[in-house]
Structures are given as C-alpha cells and as structure tokens.
C-alpha cells in the first residue's frame, strides 16, 4: 500500500503539466554553467528521492535531463544522467519511504521505528556518501563539467571561489544570448510560481509533516495521491486549454 501511495503521489505531481510544480523544477534545473547544472540535478534528485521514491524521480526526470543536454548541445550527457541516477540511490536512503528496500526493511524488521527516527539515524552516513559521490563525479568528468580547467584542484577552486575559465564564460554568453532571443510566449511560460505550483507545495509540505509526526505512512501517501489526482483532473477540465478538434470531409 505504501508503494502504491508513493507512486500515485509522484505521478500526479507530474500530471499537473502546465503551470505545475514539475514545470517549475524543470526550469530551475537549467544553468549556463555545466557543474552548477549537474549540482542542481544532484540536489533535486537527492531531495526528491528522500521525499517520495527514487524510482519515480529517475523515471520522471530522465527526460528532463536529456532535454537539458540537447538544449545545451553537450558533448557527453553521461555526467548529468549519472548525477541523477547516483544521487537518487544515495538520497533515497535518507528516509524509510525513499526506496522499496527501505520500505521492506522497516515493515519486516523495524516496525516500530518512526519516519523521523529513521531520517535522524541516516543523516550522517547518507550526507557523507552524497558528498563523496559528487566529488567523484566532478573529478572523473572534470573535462565536461569544468571546460578549460587543468586538474581537479582548479576544479574545486572554481566551485568554491566562483572563478570562470574562458570556455565557461563563452558558454554563459551563449546561454544569455539565447535567452534574449526567446519569444515573449516562452518568457510568459517560464514566469513566476503559479497557484498550482503553490498548491502542490502546500500538499507536499503537509504530506511530509504527517510523515514526521508519526501518522501512518500508507494512509498519508494514499491520501496525498488521491488529493493530487482530483486536483489534476479538476485543473485539466476547467483551466487547461481545450484540445482542438479538426473535422475532415470525405476527401480528407
């Protein structure tokens, strides 16, 4: 039941489509600097996997990451896809609802442990594992994430000091030039947070608070998923643009 509730919640978070929370997350992951874009993907994957479930986060955001790679015409998309996949695995270990293995462990061996107690016990090891994972990705893929850099020491200097190589500056200028050339419709679509995004944030916040206060995780996740399902259906029926129906004559 818990697995079903988490899948239901994640799917209908994504189903909000136009103006929903996932639309804003897609926009927020974009960045002209390669390593920052990778770091944003890692942060999103870690938090999302801990809050809901790693499988859902990877399935939903794989297409988003590929779209970002195509948009920026990167030579190698592996650093960004591995940023998503590896941190989804490490981040999901934060909570008992992060992955099916944790759900099984809690249900069979530690039935009396609370959501917060599990999180508290896992903070230090998972944070350390996430930091090591990020450092290894930055070092191994330094040529892609830090173009123009010479050695991992310079890479970490760029991360902590904010320096830029000429290649990184050229990428930033090209990114901002593309943004200037965008149509007004694109700017409108990527505007501020909509009421639907805010409603989703409120629901997910209540969802996590219920977990933290010790309420039944199965009931909480199924209720959150059901509320999001009804909200998505109501939004699609009353607010989203209606599809255009084209009538064809006998000649097509």
For residue 100, the model assigns a pLDDT of 79
More confident call, 19 vs 117: 117
pLDDT at 93 over 80: yes
For residue 58, the model assigns a pLDDT of 84
For residue 74, the model assigns a pLDDT of 85
For residue 23, the model assigns a pLDDT of 66
Least confident of 33-37, 41-45, 106-110: 106-110
More confident call, 35 vs 236: 35
Distances in Å between the alpha carbon of 112 and those of 2, 40, 92, 218, 234? 16, 35, 20, 14, 38
For residue 109, the model assigns a pLDDT of 65
The DSSP-derived string for 112-156 is: T--HHHHHHHHHHHHHHHHHHHHHHHHHHTHHHHSTT--SHHHHH
Q: Report residue 185's pLDDT band, with 50, 70 and 90 as the boundaries.
A: low
Smallest Cα–Cα separation from 60: which of 24, 16, 8, 11?
Answer: 11
Q: Report residue 68's pLDDT band, with 50, 70 and 90 as the boundaries.
A: confident
Structural contact between residues 74 and 184, judged by C-beta atoms closer than 8 angstroms: no
* Prediction pTM value: 0.72
More confident call, 73 vs 131: 131
Question: Averaging pLDDT over each range in 57-61, 102-106, 128-132, which range is the top one?
Answer: 128-132
Q: How far separated are the first and last CA of the chain, in Å rounded?
A: 49
CA distance 252 to 249: 5
Handedness of CA 232, 238, 244, 247 (dihedral sign): positive
Residue linked to tokens 């509320």: 227
Structural contact between residues 233 and 58, judged by C-beta atoms closer than 8 angstroms: no
pLDDT digits (tens, 9 = 90+) for 238-252: 776 666 656 655 665
Q: Report residue 16's pLDDT band, with 50, 70 and 90 as the boundaries.
A: low
**What value does the mean pLDDT take over residues 177-189?**
61
pLDDT at 159 over 60: yes
For residue 190, the model assigns a pLDDT of 53
Smallest Cα–Cα separation from 215: which of 71, 137, 128, 116?
Answer: 116
**What value does the mean pLDDT take over residues 122-131?**
93
Residue linked to tokens 């960004």: 80
More confident call, 191 vs 127: 127
């Amino acid at each position: 039941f818990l697995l079903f509730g988490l899948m239901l919640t994640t799917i209908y978070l994504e189903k909000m489509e136009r103006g929903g929370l996932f639309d804003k997350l897609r926009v927020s992951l974009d960045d002209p600097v390669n390593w920052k874009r990778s770091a944003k993907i890692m942060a999103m994957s870690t938090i999302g996997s801990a809050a809901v479930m790693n499988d859902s986060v990877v399935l939903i955001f794989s297409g988003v990451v590929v779209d970002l790679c195509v948009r920026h015409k990167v030579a190698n998309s592996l650093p960004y896809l591995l940023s998503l996949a590896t941190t989804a695995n490490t981040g999901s270990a934060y909570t008992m609802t992060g992955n099916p293995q944790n759900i099984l462990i809690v249900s069979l061996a530690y039935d009396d442990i609370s959501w917060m107690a599990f999180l508290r016990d896992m903070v230090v090891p998972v944070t350390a594992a996430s930091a090591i994972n990020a450092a290894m990705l930055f070092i191994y893929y330094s040529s892609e994430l830090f173009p123009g850099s010479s050695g991992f020491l310079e890479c970490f200097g760029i991360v902590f000091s904010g320096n830029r190589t000429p290649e990184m500056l050229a990428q930033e200028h090209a990114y901002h030039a593309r943004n200037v050339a965008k149509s007004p419709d694109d700017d409108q679509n990527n505007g501020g947070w909509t009421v639907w995004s805010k409603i989703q944030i409120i629901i997910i916040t209540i969802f996590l608070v219920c977990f933290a206060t010790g309420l039944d995780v199965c009931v909480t996740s199924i209720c959150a998923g059901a509320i999001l399902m009804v909200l998505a259906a109501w939004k699609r029926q009353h607010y989203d643009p209606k599809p255009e129906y084209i009538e064809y004559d006998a000649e097509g």
